[in-house]
Amino acid sequence: MAFPELHAEAIAGIVDRVAQRYRRDPTCLVQILREVQEACDWIPPEAIDRLQVVLGVPRTKIEGVAGFYSFFYTRPRGRYRILFSDNITDRMLGNMSLMERLCAALWIEPGKVSEDGLVSVDKASCTGMCDQGPALLVNNYAVTRLTEARIDAIADLVRNGVPLAEWPAEFFAVSDNVRRADLLLGPNPLPGTALKAMIARAPGRSEGGAAAMLEEIKRSNLRGRGGAGFTTALKWEACRNAPLRSGQQRFVVCNADEGEPGTFKDRVLLTAHADLVFEGMTVAAYVLGARRGFLYLRGEYRYLLDPLNAVLQRRREAGLLGANILGIPGADFDIEIHLGAGAYVCGEESALIESLEGKRGTPRNRPPFPVTNGYLDQPTVVNNVETYAAAALIALNGGDWYAGIGTKQSAGTKILSVSGDCARPGIYEYPFGVTVRQVLADCGAEDVQAVQISGPSGICVSAAEFDRRIGFEDLPTAGAFMVFNHSRDMFEVARNFVHFFQHESCGFCTPCRVGTSLLKNLMDKLHNGHGSPYDFTEIEKLNQILLSMSHCGLGHTACNPVLDTIAKFRPAYERRLEHTDFTPAFDLDRALAAARQMTGRDDPGAHIVPEEFGEEKTS
């Protein structure tokens, strides 16, 4: 089947329409490119030509942005662009054999486009569906619970050119899988009640009101839920106190990039508790005096865009967003949603801000920090989805109430995304201080060998450590809790994570760009049976370089999964060591074996070096 190509005129029309909707604002370039691609199936050169004119942005910059994000295509990738989620938990659920099955049914090779230009099939980093994998994205929409039958049905739908809108709805069903609810995942307060409680505490949009709310956040001891655990009140206070130059304002940004493999709790908060998250952002805006907010939603959650926009619209109509919120003169605040486009590094707050500004998501030098020099170089608070949801509850119930839950250094609750070898994967919310053992019992995990806490950049705990506790005192986490039973090879777990870091390194700084590639090569070498103990020394050296010289947290943490598993599961590495002394990375004899077989010269004597070339060798 051949598909009609769009003419330059039609492409220009699409670009004009999209750019117009974004007020021809170059800071919306990522959003504009996304919508152009949704209309054209890729970003053709004619679209870039036209964007250059309508946005007044140089072609090289547009190409640079389009080239940065893995979900943007500047070459045709087919009308159906299928990406299999390739987190370790997808692997454990058999994603690779399902991908092979689909490729065989469609007569294509992974990574290539079919000859008729209909479809491409490839892999993507974790898509945030680990509790209902294996999963894939088709044109950025998640399809979950893949089975062989579902794969065969997808092959038929693609072959018959059936539009996505006509695919069975159950293919796109995403369950919340809430297994344990506490403060955040319990019944939703009515929209607006947290804001009203905040106003009641100190009426009017007075300085006193904002200061009183900040005081509650201070008393709550709330710490950020995005991983680093920075004290929220300190961040908000620094932004509130940051001087504004002429024409400047303050911004509130919600980080819903959720790219850490094995993490999917923000997905559930935004599905079932979006009002709470937006209410928390509005509380932050009140404290800061901000008028604009952004939700940066990962591209993998494209399916949430329309429902979330509907929630925002309802809040505007209810007087909870927009001008004069709750009838208070001057209390103006609104939120817009920007979608990411498949770049893990954009979860790093300064890279996220670059992306919000329509640029490549390259992390900035810090300091200055976003609280003084954030979005458009103006004071900006960036917090995780869960942090804002907690802030809304603090506005509702007060800081002392919140501080009384959890532990001394870790107030409140934590939502865990539980996946891997357990009977009940899903979302579990606990007061901080819960033991790993308790979570394992609740999710029905047996014969457990290890748990990876907080994703590849986090920490791998072995069975001897299951009495350790979730919390900033002991095991801090952004939420991922991946379970591995004794049938799993912890070396392969670490190798999958290393591939992830190498793939997601943005390439801006050499230590990380080269270091993650070298690390991947070392792990592949060990996997192929060419490793030696010397490689452990190499890995340690690489870690020192990545730790001390990388520009951002991705590079700093890239060696973590390897170091942890070497320390705790060394036999998984040692059984791969063929050579106990130094060995070259390249085994010429083995590399030539396939060629010998193909040419019918598979005779061990066939590659003996003739006498005239010196001593006789057999390898």
Ligand X SMILES: Cc1cc2nc3c(=O)[nH]c(=O)nc-3n(C[C@H](O)[C@H](O)[C@H](O)COP(=O)(O)O)c2cc1C
Torsion of Cα atoms, 400 then 403 then 408 then 411, to 10°: -170
Question: Which residue among 37, 127, 220, 255 contacts ligand X (CB under 6 A)?
Answer: 255
Does the protein bind ligand X through residue 554 (CB under 6 A)?
Answer: yes
The verdict on 228 binding ligand X (CB under 6 A) reads yes
CB of 471 to ligand X, least distance (A): 15
Binding segment for ligand X (CB under 6 A), chosen from 25-33, 376-384, 435-443, 518-526, is 376-384
x/- string (CB under 6 A) for ligand X, residues 258-287?
Answer: xxx---------------------------
Say how many residues make up the chain.
Answer: 619
Q: At what angle do helices 490-504 and 510-527 cross, to 10 degrees?
A: 150
Interaction between residue 502 and ligand SF4 (CB under 6 A): no
387 binds ligand X (CB under 6 A): yes
Concatenated DSSP letters of 512-548:
HHHHHHHHHHHHHHHHTT-B-THHHHHHHHHHHHHHH
Return the structure tokens found at 67: 């080239």
Which residues are within 8 A (CB) of 269 and not within 5 positions of it... i.e. 6 or more apart?
184, 185, 276, 277, 385, 386, 389, 415
381 membership: H or E segment, kind and range: strand 380-384
Question: What number of chain residues touch ligand SF4 (CB under 6 A)?
Answer: 14
* SS3 state at 117: coil
382 or 450: CB nearest ligand X:
382
Among 81, 123, 225, 338, binds ligand X (CB under 6 A): 225
What are the φ and ψ backbone dihedral angles of 227, each rounded to 5 degrees? 135, -50
Is position 348 an interface residue for ligand X (rule: CB under 6 A)?
Answer: yes
Asked if residue 513 binds ligand SF4 (CB under 6 A), the reply is yes
Residue 512 binding target from ligand SF4, ligand X, none, CB below 5 to 8 Å by type: ligand SF4
Using N-to-C axis directions, what is the helix angle for 274-288 and 207-220, rounded to 10°? 120
Task: Residue 508: name its binding partner from ligand X, ligand SF4, none (Cβ under 5 to 8 Å by kind).
Answer: ligand SF4
Return the number of the residue (26 or 561) whose C-beta is nearest ligand X: 561
| Contact characters 94-113, ligand X, x per CB under 6 A | --------------------
Binding partner of residue 384 among ligand X, ligand SF4, none, CB cut-off 5 to 8 Å per kind = ligand X
Query: Does 343 help bind ligand SF4 (rule: CB under 6 A)?
Result: no
Instruction: Write each residue from 27 to 66 as x if it is in contact with ligand X (CB under 6 A), else as -, in one continuous string.
Output: ----------------------------------------
| Residue in the block written with tokens 């300064």 | 350
Binding to ligand SF4 by residue 550, rule CB under 6 A? yes
102 burial level (CB within 10 Å; 0-12, 13-18, 19+): buried
Closest CA to 51 of 77, 69, 30, 71: 30
- Count other C-beta atoms under 10 Å from residue 129's C-beta: 27
Confirm or reject binding of residue 3 to ligand X (CB under 6 A): no
The residues near 575 (Cβ < 8 Å, ≥ 6 apart) are: none
- Residue 345 in contact with ligand X, rule: CB under 6 A: yes
Contact 83, 110 (CB under 8 A): no
Which CB, 297 or 509, lies closer to ligand SF4?
509
**Pick from ligand SF4, ligand X, none: which does 224 bind, CB < 5 to 8 A by kind?**
ligand X
Cβ-based neighbour number of residue 35 at 10 Å: 18
Please tell me whether residue 255 adopts helix, strand or coil conformation: strand
* Site for ligand SF4, residues 362 to 381, rule: CB under 6 A: 363
Query: Residue 128 Cβ, how far from ligand X at the closest point, in Å?
Result: 10
| Segment contacting ligand X by CB under 6 A, of 55-63, 226-234, 446-454, 509-517 | 226-234
Nearer to ligand X, 457 or 532 (CB): 457
Pairing outcome for strands 448-453 and 459-462: antiparallel
Query: How many of the other CB atoms lie within 10 Å of CB of 224?
Result: 20
Stretch that binds ligand X, among 70-78, 347-355, 398-406, 598-606 (CB under 6 A): 347-355
Q: Of these partners, ligand SF4, ligand X, none, which one is at the site of residue 392 (CB under 5 to 8 Å by kind)?
A: none
Please report how close the Cβ of residue 504 comes to ligand SF4 at its closest, in angstroms: 7
Task: Determine, following the binding rule CB under 6 A, whether residue 560 of this chain makes contact with ligand X.
Answer: no
Choose the one of ligand X, ligand SF4, none that binds residue 505, judging by a C-beta under 5 to 8 angstroms depending on kind: ligand SF4
Binding partner at 359 among ligand SF4, ligand X, none, C-beta below 5 to 8 Å by kind: none
Encoded amino acid at 303, one letter: Y
Which listed range, 256-264, 301-309, 506-514, 587-595, lies at the site for ligand X (CB under 6 A)? Answer: 256-264
Q: Is 300 in the site for ligand X (CB under 6 A)?
A: no
Using CB under 6 A as the binding rule, whether residue 559 contacts ligand SF4 is answered as no
Cβ proximity of 533 and 539 under 8 Å: no
Nearby residues of 541 by Cβ (< 8 Å), 6 or more positions away:
none
Binding segment (CB under 6 A) for ligand X, from list 140-148, 222-230, 518-526, 540-548: 222-230
How far apart are CB 190 and ligand X at their closest, in Å?
25
Q: Which is nearer to ligand X, 510 or 619 (by Cβ)?
A: 510
What would you report as the CA-atom Rg of the chain, rounded to the nearest whole angstrom? 26
Looking at beta carbons, which pairs linking 105-110 to residues 24 or more positions away fall under 8 Å? 105/151, 105/152, 105/155, 106/155, 106/158, 106/159
| H helix runs in 2-115, sequence order | 8-21, 29-40, 45-55, 59-68, 88-92, 95-106
Asked if 515 is part of the footprint of ligand X (rule: CB under 6 A), the reply reads no
Residues 6+ apart with CB under 8 A from 518: 538, 542
Q: Residue 422 gets which letter from DSSP?
A: S
Q: Is 499 in the site for ligand SF4 (CB under 6 A)?
A: no
Give 191 or 507: the residue with its C-beta nearer to ligand SF4: 507
Single residue of 154, 509, 542, 566 touching ligand SF4 by CB under 6 A: 509
Residue among 383 and 502 whose Cβ is closer to ligand SF4? 502
Helices (H), 202-334: 207-220, 232-241, 265-272, 274-288, 305-317
Residues of the shown chain interacting with ligand X in the complex, contacts defined by CB under 6 A:
224-228, 230, 255, 257-260, 345, 347-349, 382-384, 387, 552-554
Residues of the shown chain interacting with ligand SF4 in the complex, contacts defined by CB under 6 A:
345, 363, 505-509, 512-513, 550-552, 554-555
